[in-house]
Amino acid sequence: MRKKALITGASRGIGEEIAGMLAGEGYDLVIVCKNSGERLTRLRERLQRECGIRCEAAVCDVSDSGQVEMLFEIIGEVDVLVNNAAVSYVGLLTDMSVEKWREVLDTNLSSLFYTCRAAVPGMVKKKAGKIINISSVWGSAGASMEVAYSASKGGVNSFTKALAKELAPSNIQVNAAAFGVIDTQMNQCFSGEERAALVEEIPADRMGTAGEAAQLVRQILHMPDYFTGQIVTMDGGWI
């Protein structure tokens, strides 16, 4: 029987590439996003056709605990959980509304609590499972004008380390991939001049690609079981 993986934020960018990677590895998939249902359906059909796997697609707001609970009632247990869903906010902290702050923290951090709380019992029962959280270099370095995003990713890092210790006796590995600037839609909020300035600070002299991000997730997935509680950074030499 094939193993099953759940990827949140799977309709585009890093999440889409991770879904393609896992399908190529022979996993059955559950792919989830909040808004882009049609795009998610096209991805499901393509992966099933090209990779011969079973793929379920669901529109689910993972920042909503009730929706996550309903999702797991439908899909059951998973062997791999990739928490990729995230939103950003660029602007002064003093200009940020309480509602936007909560959206960023709930989507980027609280969602991990909701999905892990639902996925972990099945993994504990099998004494096996892998959880990979997608983080950012801003979670440790902090980014001006992105306080909420930085705080949420710092929380992801701490969440990862703590849960890894909690689940290690059950042979469940919890790790995070912390990326620098990856060329995805999330960065389209920046002007061409701002994007060029970002690249100037990267020793590799370019942004990373979503495909490269998925490659790192693959490497973490195939690490020995003793590899857990780690925040693995890929940033083109920036830090």
Look up residue 62 and give its amino acid. V
Which one from 27, 89, 149, 226 is the annotated catalytic residue? 149
How far is it, in rounded angstroms, from Cα 39 to Cα 44?
9
Q: How far is CA 228 from CA 46, 51, 129, 176, 220, in A?
A: 32, 29, 11, 9, 9
Q: Is 199 exposed, middle or buried (0-12, 13-18, 19+ CB in 10 A)?
A: middle
Contact 17, 211 (CB under 8 A): yes
Residue with tokens 């934020």: 9
Q: Is 149 an active-site residue? A: yes
Catalytic residues: 149
